[in-house]
Structures are given as C-alpha cells and as structure tokens.
Amino acid sequence: MNLSLIIFITLHLIRPSSSKIFHGDHDHQTTCLNPFLDHQNSSLQDHILKLANHVETAAWIKKIRREIHEHPELAFEEIHTSSIIRRELEKMSIRYQWPVAKTGVVARVGSGLPPFVALRADMDALPIQEMVEWEHKSKIDGKMHACGHDAHVAMLLGAAKILKQLENELQGTVLLIFQPAEEQGEGAKQMIKEGVLDKVEAIFGLHLVLSSDTGVVASRSGDFLAGCGFFRAVIHGKGGHAAIPQDSIDPILAVSATIISLQHIVSREADPLDMPVVSVTMVDGGTGLNAIPDSVSIAGTYRAVSKKSFYALAERIKEVIKTQASVYRCSATVDFEGPIVSPTVNDERIYEHVVKVSAMIVGKQNIEVAPPIMGSEDFAFYLEKIPGAFAFLGMRDEKKAIIHSPHSPYYAVHEDVLPTGSALHAAFAYTYLLKTSTSVCGS
C-alpha cells in the first residue's frame, strides 16, 4: 500500500463524514477573519491535516500517548510524564522552560516575538485502578489516565511537531503549556502564579469527550462548564442526656433543618435555567444512643455554570447554615475549602475563531454547540486572566465500545482522533497569529 493511499484511508477512517472539507469546500457565509482564512483555507486545512495525519507523525502521537498511559502520575507528581515531554521537545529542537509549577513544561515555537498565543494540555492521572485489559494498560497499581490527559499531552506534542514544521510562517510565538494537577484544581493556578500567561493574548484548550461522536468539535460561547466549590460546617450545640433534652441544645435537629433548607436554595431561590447544584455529602455527629452530642459536622459541594450564580451560592450556603443553626439555639462555623474551580467562561470572540478554524479541520457538519456542563475544569483560571476558549473533541464510538465516561475504570481513548486534536491545536494557534498580524476584517 503506498503512502498517499495510507494517508487517504487514515484521514477517512478518522473523519468518515468530513470528506467535503478535504476537497477545499468551505462555508462561503463565514465572516472574513483575515485574507488568508478567507481565500486559502483549503490550503491551510490540507497543509495542517497532512502534517498531522502523516503516517509517521500519527503513529508517533499514538506511541507517546501509550507510553504516558502506562506510567500514570497524580497531581504534581508528573516527573516521568514531563521527562517524556522534554525528551520529545528536545528531539524536535523546541526550546522549553522547566520546571514550572513543580512538574509543568512550557515550550515555545515561533518567532520568539509577540503576539503570543497559548495552547494548553493537562498531564495528571487519577487514583483509579484501570479495568481495561489491553497491551498498554497502566503499570502502576491504583493509578490510571481515566480522563484522557495522556492523550491531551500527546495531541499537544503533535501540535508542537506541526507548528515546528511551520515555524517560519508563524507570525508570532506559540506557547505550549503542559500543566500539572488539573484534577486537583491547582495546576493552572500555580502555572499562572509563575507567570506563564505574561504577555499571552489568547489561550485554547481541548478535552476529549464521550458525549460527542468521534471527530466532532463541541463548545459554546460564554458560560460553559460549572464552577465547583466545597463547604464544611460545624454546628455547635450543648451535649447532654437524651432523656433530658431540655438541658441540652440539640445540634442534630439543627443540622436536619439546615440540610433541608440548603436544598431550598436550588429549588426555591435559583433560576432553574442556571442549573445550580447544592449537595450535602457528609454528616458526622453523635456517638451514643442515649446522648445528644455537642456538635455535628456537615460537608458538601456546590456547582453552578454562571459566575453570578456560583458566587451567590457560596454566600447563601453560609447564610442558611448560620441562620438555621441559630433558630435551634446553636452556632455554626462555615469554611469553604479548595480546590475551588471557577466556572469556565469562553470568550465570545475566541470561541468564534475556534468554530471557524475547527470547521476547516473537521468539517462544518462536525461542529456542535455544546450544552452547559456541570463538570469543572481548571482551564477556567486561564480564562479569568485572558480571553480564550475551551472545546471538546468527541471520540464516542459504540462499535469500538469507546463509551465509558471520564473517571471510569473502563475509560478508553479512541486513538484515531489524536491527530485531529493536534491539527485543531496547531490550526488555532497558526491562524490566531496570522489574524492578529494581518486582520483587516476584525471579528
């Protein structure tokens, strides 16, 4: 089988319904982003896709993903993972900074001059025992890449390879951010603290998902992923004999009423379209059948997609616990503890750019508007600092049984989609820099 035939088949296996885009068809209704995008998008897509789907590159991306998958590392322990990243960057003669935020790596491709645009991948695994039996199963007991971050790293390295081959054409500099500790909600914060976003104008991140079919790009403008917070409270009463309740102040009764009242924040106060969540997940108090305890602890989580609802929830949780405790003559202390991840809010302008560029890569028919999602992502912290957008790349494939949700011990990645992810990253950065340097239309 000759090389071009292999490439052709590979491309069509990855995106069976997107053949239109390979033949240079594009949306003539699309608003002009810049002269290049308007007139030469077919050559751009062909160029970047050919580089991403080159047989050797596609095989290399898959190999890297498998190597990382076999050696999963938890938050801020990604020493081996970052050594693989550095090894591959060195092979490509791409300069990088390390360590950033303990284990993170920040590589640079381009002119070294502004404008700067960033692409981000997360590196950490989860404390989950892999149940998938395959050749490259996790070699570390109790740890697994069950959220696809191994694939995210491989896709970003693929983008680095593509961008390196186009380096002379880049109208600025691309930062490739390999970030630790997403699952803990701390990695992005730490990277930002160490200055990775200094001078960066825009950022893009991708997450593989099972909610969309293979090769589909899904995202939305504005509120996208929920913010996530945790609370802990101690309700203090006065312990005593259960047969003489009048001599005690019963914190169990206070907690019972508090838990019910907390549910009313969502059912009676919040806008149903905001879809907030308040869940009490822990109650701890009392030791004897005939004793009223001194205090009872409760803890739980709250989520909301809009920033306004998210921060309002925290305020009301505190108020309801304290007030409800006082009704029962108790007092309460309420603490909010990390990791607290803000809602992920995509910038409208960058989102539009992502949609246009992604349509060139996967075909307009493979672009979806995602619904708001209650899951959280610490990519939100980058978006609080600079404009950017987060997007999903679908990989659901019923025939291959790639259907298990992230954080499942049966989670599997559809590896054929990896070059598409690399192409999306590379195309976003390439065209963003071009747009910034030559824009005549604005957006």
> Which residues contact Zn ion (rule: CB under 5 A)?
147
- The distance of closest approach from Cβ of residue 375 to Zn ion in the complex, given in angstroms and rounded to an integer, is 8
Residue 149 labeled ligand binder: yes
Q: Which is nearer to Zn ion, 258 or 346 (CB)?
A: 346
- The distance of closest approach from Cβ of residue 322 to Zn ion in the complex, given in angstroms and rounded to an integer, is 33
Strands 367-369 and 217-219: parallel
Compute the chain's Rg from CA coordinates. Answer: 25
> Which helix (H) or strand (E) covers residue 175, if one does?
strand 173-179
Residue 183 labeled ligand binder: yes
Considering only CA atoms, which of 109, 116, 115 is closest in space to residue 167? 109
Q: Which is nearer to Zn ion, 147 or 321 (CB)?
A: 147
- The distance of closest approach from Cβ of residue 110 to Zn ion in the complex, given in angstroms and rounded to an integer, is 27
Taking CB atoms, the residue at the shortest distance from Zn ion is 147
Q: How far apart are CA 15 and CA 361, in angstroms?
A: 10
Residue 182 labeled ligand binder: no
- The distance of closest approach from Cβ of residue 71 to Zn ion in the complex, given in angstroms and rounded to an integer, is 18
CB atoms within 10 A of CB 60: 18
Residue 415 labeled ligand binder: no
Q: How far apart are CA 187 and CA 338, in angstroms?
A: 12
- The distance of closest approach from Cβ of residue 148 to Zn ion in the complex, given in angstroms and rounded to an integer, is 6
Q: Which is nearer to Zn ion, 37 or 147 (CB)?
A: 147
Q: Please calculate the CA angle 156-74-218 and round it to the nearest 5 degrees.
A: 40
Residue 135 labeled ligand binder: no
Q: Which is nearer to Zn ion, 170 or 341 (CB)?
A: 341
The beta-strand segments (E) located in 264-366 are: 277-285, 291-292, 295-304, 331-341, 344-346
For the chain, give me the number of helices (H) and strands (E)? 12, 16
Q: Which is nearer to Zn ion, 147 or 354 (CB)?
A: 147
Please state the residue numbers annotated as binding site.
Answer: 147, 149, 183, 207, 407
Please state the residue numbers annotated as binding site for Mn(2+).
Answer: 147, 149, 183, 207, 407
